[in-house]
C-alpha cells in the first residue's frame, strides 16, 4: 500500500501548476491539483489573456480612423463595452474548459478548495487531509494595495476586467506595465485617463529609451501622466471620487484603479508553520531546482518572485516535473527571456537594457526612430523606436528593445538570436525583409554618440 495518497499535490492551477501537474502525471506520478478559484490562474483568467483581448478591442478606434488614409469611408462606428466583456468572458469559459480537459486526460485529480499545508507531507483542503511525497506551491500573486484612507473605493486589475460600464474619467495609480496597459485600453475607448506615478517616468526597470518613447507616445494619444505624485487619500462624493495628493492638490475621477504592485500569495497557507523560508516580500525562497528550504516542498511561478512571466512559470513547471519524476534534475535558464508590454504602442524587449549592460563594461548602442510605413498615409503622429545594445569588447548583442506596432512579435524572433549568442556582425550580415519594420534591426549601422 502506498505510503502517501499522492506523489505530488499542487496548490494552484495556474499555468505553472497545471504544466507541472500534467507533466508529472505523464511521467508516472499520482498527482492532484488544488484550486480555490478558476482553473487557468492569473494569466488566463485575470491577466494576460483577457487584458490582451481588451487591448485588441480598444485598438479598433484607431484602425477605423486610419482607414480613411487608405481610401476607405467607414460608417458611423459605435462601441458597446458590455458586449466586449461578454465576448471576453465567453472565451475565458472556453479556455477554462480546455484546462479541465487537459487535467482530466492527464489523469490529474482536481480538488476544489483552499489548500493549506499542515506539515511537509500533508495538505488540508476544507478540513480533509491529503498526503503526498511532494507538495508544490504554485499559488501565484495578487494585487497589493497601500494602506491609505479610502483605499476601499479603488479597484485593481482584477475588477477592471469586468467593469459593468466604462467610466468617463479614470485615475490609474501606478507606473508599471499593468497600469500602462490599462491606461492605453481605457484611453483608446474614449475615457479621460490620468496615470499617477510616484517616479519621474513610467516603467521602472525598463531601458530608458523605451520608457521615454512609450511615455511620449502615450501622452500624444491623450493619456495624462501625472509624475512625482503621491495619493494620500480617496473620498467618495456625489457619485465620483476625490483624490488628494501629498502636496494638497485634488482631482476627481469616476473610477480609481490601483496597479502599484503584486504580492506573492503565501499568506495563511501554512508555509512558515511548515518551516518554509519566505523573503521580505513574502515570496518562497527556492534553489535553482525550485526546492524550498523544506525538501518535500517546492514552489514555482510568481509566488517565488524570480521572473514573473507566464512562460517562465510554465518552464519552471516542466523543469520541476523532470527533476522530481524524470530522473533528470533540470534548472531553468533565466537569461535572455523576452517580454512584452501591450501598451499602445506596444513594447518588446529581450536581454539587457543599456543601463544594465553599461554596468558590465563598455557598450555600443544603436537606435532608430522612424514613422511606421502605415502612418505615411494615415498622417498619424506616431513613431517607432528600435534599439540594439552591444558588448564593445566581444561584439555580442546584449539587448534588443522596441516600441512600436508588432514589437512583441518581432522581439520573439530576436530572442532566439540572443539565446544563440549572436553578434552585431551577424545581425549586419543578415538580409532584411523589405518593406518591414523588423528589417531595421539588421540595417542599423550608426552608433549612438557617447554622452560627455
| H helix count then E strand count, the chain | 12, 21
Same domain, 93 and 187: no
The residue from 244, 260, 276 where one domain ends is 260
Same domain, 89 and 29: yes
The residue from 237, 260, 283 where one domain ends is 260
Same domain, 363 and 429: yes
Provide the whole-model pTM. 0.96
Indicate which CATH number applies to the domain containing 128.
Answer: 3.50.50.60
pLDDT (tens place) for every residue of the chain, 452 residues total: 679 999 999 999 999 999 999 999 999 999 999 999 999 999 999 999 999 999 999 999 999 999 999 999 988 889 999 999 999 999 999 999 999 999 999 999 999 999 999 999 999 999 999 999 999 999 999 999 999 999 999 999 999 999 999 999 999 999 999 999 999 999 999 999 999 999 999 999 999 999 999 999 999 999 999 999 999 999 998 889 999 999 899 999 999 999 999 999 999 999 999 999 999 999 999 999 999 999 999 999 999 999 999 999 999 999 999 999 999 999 999 999 999 999 999 999 999 999 999 999 999 999 999 999 999 999 999 999 999 999 999 999 999 999 999 999 999 999 999 999 999 999 999 999 999 999 999 999 999 988 75
The residue from 217, 240, 260 where one domain ends is 260
Same domain, 355 and 212: no
pLDDT of 1: 62
**Which is nearest to 136 in space by CA: 310, 327, 303?**
303
In a domain, 452, yes or no: no
pLDDT of 153: 97
In a domain, 422, yes or no: yes
**Which is nearest to 330 in space by CA: 106, 10, 8, 23?**
23
Same domain, 173 and 312: no
pLDDT of 133: 98
Same domain, 36 and 128: yes
Same domain, 171 and 83: no
In a domain, 278, yes or no: yes
Which residues participate in catalysis according to the annotation?
Answer: 434
Cell of 64: 477605423
In a domain, 447, yes or no: no
In a domain, 268, yes or no: yes
How many other CB atoms sit within 10 Å of the CB of residue 190? 14
Same domain, 13 and 128: yes
> What is the distance of C-alpha 281 from the center of its chain?
18
Structural domain range at position 121: 6-141+263-325
Same domain, 215 and 245: yes
Same domain, 245 and 302: no
| Total domains, the chain | 3
**Which is nearest to 211 in space by CA: 341, 309, 310, 390?**
341
Same domain, 52 and 98: yes
**Which is nearest to 426 in space by CA: 386, 395, 387?**
395
CA distances (Å), origin 343, targets 183, 188, 325, 369: 8, 11, 40, 18
Distance between CA atoms of residues 319 and 365, nearest Å: 35
**CB neighbours of 302 closer than 8 A, spacing ≥ 6?**
42, 140, 141, 262, 264, 265, 308, 313
CA distances (Å), origin 37, targets 164, 237, 409: 21, 34, 31
In a domain, 449, yes or no: no
In a domain, 448, yes or no: no
Same domain, 206 and 293: no
Amino acid at each position: 500500500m502506498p505510503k502517501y495518497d499522492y506523489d505530488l499535490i499542487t496548490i494552484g492551477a495556474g499555468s505553472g501548476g497545471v504544466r507541472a501537474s500534467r507533466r508529472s502525471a505523464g511521467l508516472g506520478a499520482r498527482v492532484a491539483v488544488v484550486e480555490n478559484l478558476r482553473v487557468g490562474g492569473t494569466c488566463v483568467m485575470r491577466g494576460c489573456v483577457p487584458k490582451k483581448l481588451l487591448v485588441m478591442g480598444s485598438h479598433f478606434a484607431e484602425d477605423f480612423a486610419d482607414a480613411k488614409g487608405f481610401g476607405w469611408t467607414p460608417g458611423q462606428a459605435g462601441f458597446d463595452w458590455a458586449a466586449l466583456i461578454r465576448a471576453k468572458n465567453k472565451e475565458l469559459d472556453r479556455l477554462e474548459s480546455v484546462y479541465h480537459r487537459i487535467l482530466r486526460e492527464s489523469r490529474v485529480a482536481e480538488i476544489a478548495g483552499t489548500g493549506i499545508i499542515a506539515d511537509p507531507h500533508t495538505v488540508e483542503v476544507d478540513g480533509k487531509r491529503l498526503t503526498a511525497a511532494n507538495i508544490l506551491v504554485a499559488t501565484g500573486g495578487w494585487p497589493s494595495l497601500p494602506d491609505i484612507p479610502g483605499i476601499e473605493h479603488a479597484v485593481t486589475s482584477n475588477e477592471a476586467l469586468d467593469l459593468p460600464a466604462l467610466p468617463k474619467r479614470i485615475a490609474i495609480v501606478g507606473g508599471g506595465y499593468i497600469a500602462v496597459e490599462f491606461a492605453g485600453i481605457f484611453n483608446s475607448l474614449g475615457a479621460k485617463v490620468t496615470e499617477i506615478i510616484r517616479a519621474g517616468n513610467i516603467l521602472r526597470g525598463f531601458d530608458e529609451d523605451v520608457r521615454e518613447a512609450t511615455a511620449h507616445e502615450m501622452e500624444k494619444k491623450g493619456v495624462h501622466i501625472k509624475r512625482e505624485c503621491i495619493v494620500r487619500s480617496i473620498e467618495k462624493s456625489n457619485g465620483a471620487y476625490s483624490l488628494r495628493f501629498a502636496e494638497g492638490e485634488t482631482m476627481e475621477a469616476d473610477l480609481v484603479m490601483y496597479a502599484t504592485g503584486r504580492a506573492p500569495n503565501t499568506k495563511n497557507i501554512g508555509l512558515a508553520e511548515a518551516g518554509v523560508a519566505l523573503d521580505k516580500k513574502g515570496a518562497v525562497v527556492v534553489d535553482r531546482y525550485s526546492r524550498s528550504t523544506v525538501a518535500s516542498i517546492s514552489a514555482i511561478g510568481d509566488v517565488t518572485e524570480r521572473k514573473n512571466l507566464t512562460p517562465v512559470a510554465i518552464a519552471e513547471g516542466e523543469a520541476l516535473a523532470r527533476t522530481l519524476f524524470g530522473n533528470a534534475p533540470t534548472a531553468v535558464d533565466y537569461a535572455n527571456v523576452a517580454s512584452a508590454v501591450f501598451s499602445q504602442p506596444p513594447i518588446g524587449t529581450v536581454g539587457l537594457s543599456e543601463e544594465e549592460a553599461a554596468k558590465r563594461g563598455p557598450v555600443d548602442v544603436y537606435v532608430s526612430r522612424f514613422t511606421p510605413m502605415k502612418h505615411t498615409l494615415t498622417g498619424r503622429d506616431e513613431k517607432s523606436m528600435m534599439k540594439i545594445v552591444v558588448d564593445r569588447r566581444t561584439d555580442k548583442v546584449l539587448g534588443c528593445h522596441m516600441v512600436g506596432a508588432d514589437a512583441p512579435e518581432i522581439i520573439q524572433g530576436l530572442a532566439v538570436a540572443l539565446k544563440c549568442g549572436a553578434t552585431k556582425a551577424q545581425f549586419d550580415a543578415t538580409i532584411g525583409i523589405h518593406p518591414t519594420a523588423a528589417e531595421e534591426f539588421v540595417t542599423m549601422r550608426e552608433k549612438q554618440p557617447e554622452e560627455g
